Structure 1
């Protein structure tokens, strides 16, 4: 498995440390797919209105640059500010922003997949199993505070069709543009909802390789800052 993928520093709110490591291989998975020259088959957001809303075909106003120099705005065709990787934790007041969660990587195919003894996938290929069970993503701002806001989206929040440099497929939760926030420190937490339990086919340890049915916290409370709009 890839050792150089950036991770969200706050961690996962459930499961042991090894599962947190498994999930937080995260934010630069897509970046590695670009820089290593691996395949990009497409995304689940193929409908024209949604892609237009994300700014495809227009110059990128903001640039979320990962540690390896990849521009995630260009990779995902997003014109708005991105919050997610450690290098992308600042938004500008008065402007919409997009939350990107860590990618979920699975075994390449049914032929190579291994599972816990008590698990049987619904779809033969693990990535298809995950995608078919994905129901929604919920992006929570300032969780546990009086300013808490929650934004829920269905299948349009799941991007898929990507591969790591090792040839492993992955899908990634990406929010539509979210409302501007006030100046100051904030947190963002990503929740996923699956219709049934899913295991990635990469191992047989449930706490490391499986996600539960229902809603669960997919990331920890990732910190970021909203800064005043520059005065020109």
Structure 2
């Protein structure tokens, strides 16, 4: 039976922000100034989120779609879906789990990576033009230690262009078994279910005709 849980709250946003800010602090990438959303996409493919160049951080040359400043592309342009990172306790020492839960690996991040089967990215969910693509565990592009957490960061392979106009992009994650992050004992806040579940909301995406 498929269970659905959307991971789009403050905790997920805080995790990806923490990973990116830490990358700046350790000089892993150059951080351009924060830009504002434009009416049409910039010819520059780079996605800047909270001052961080996500393309450089994730090693992606194509246009990224995911966080609020980066939800527009040109017709005919291939794009890459990113999604909020998943953080866990740094190791087995001090990890806190809900009652009755036993991880399959001592370190919580190793437990998550061992259970991750991939994601299903659905475009225009619930409409006649709905289509989806499945990406395996290679959706994880990098794993970083940030203060008291380890964070897995995600990006898909390049996806085919969408038609002109508004669309949605929804990500479902697949795990072989339940995973808990070791950061607390409330399963609603700290665990992901076995099977397929909704990981993001219906992210709005707009594709624009190219300027002549």
TM-score bracket, normalised by the shorter chain, equals 0.7 to 0.9
Q: Which residue of 1 aligns with 2:5?
A: 14
CA distance in 2, matches of 1:179, 1:197: 32
Contact 1:134 1:195 in 2 (8 A): yes
- After superposition, the Cα gap between the structure-2 partners of 1:224 and 1:35, relative to the gap in structure 1 and judged at 3 Å, is same
Q: Which residue of 1 aligns with 2:164?
A: 183
CA distance in 1, matches of 2:16, 2:130: 24
Computed over aligned residues only, the root mean square deviation of the Cα atoms, in angstroms, reads 2.2
CA distance in 2, matches of 1:31, 1:99: 17
Contact 1:137 1:173 in 2 (8 A): no
Q: Which residue of 2 aligns with 1:80?
A: 62
Deviation, 1:89, is: 1.0
**TM-score normalised per structure 1:** 0.78
Deviation, 1:227, is: 1.1
CA distance in 2, matches of 1:159, 1:79: 13
Q: For 1:161-176, what aligned pairs fall within 5 Å after superposition? A: 161-164=143-146, 166-176=147-157
Contact 2:15 2:151 in 1 (8 A): no
Q: Which residue of 2 aligns with 1:36?
A: 25
Q: Which residue of 2 aligns with 1:218?
A: 199
Contact 1:61 1:80 in 2 (8 A): no
Q: For 1:121-140, what aligned pairs fall within 5 Å after superposition? A: 121-140=103-122
* 1:94 and 2:94 matched: no
Q: Whose strand proportion is higher, 1 or 2?
A: 2
- After superposition, the Cα gap between the structure-2 partners of 1:101 and 1:26, relative to the gap in structure 1 and judged at 3 Å, is farther
Contact 1:192 1:215 in 2 (8 A): yes
Contact 2:58 2:155 in 1 (8 A): no
Q: Which residue of 2 aligns with 1:23?
A: 12
CA displacement, residues 91-114 of structure 1 (integer Å, 9 cap, x when unaligned): 111010000010000011100200
**TM-score normalised per structure 2:** 0.85
Aligned residues: 196
* 1:118 and 2:107 matched: no
Q: Which residue of 2 aligns with 1:158?
A: 140
User: Which runs of 5 or more structure 1 residues have no equivalent in the other structure?
Assistant: 1-12, 41-59
- After superposition, the Cα gap between the structure-2 partners of 1:113 and 1:27, relative to the gap in structure 1 and judged at 3 Å, is closer
Q: Which moved more, 1:181-190 or 1:152-161?
A: 152-161
User: Which runs of 5 or more structure 2 residues have no equivalent in the other structure?
Assistant: 30-42
Q: Which residue of 1 aligns with 2:47?
A: 64
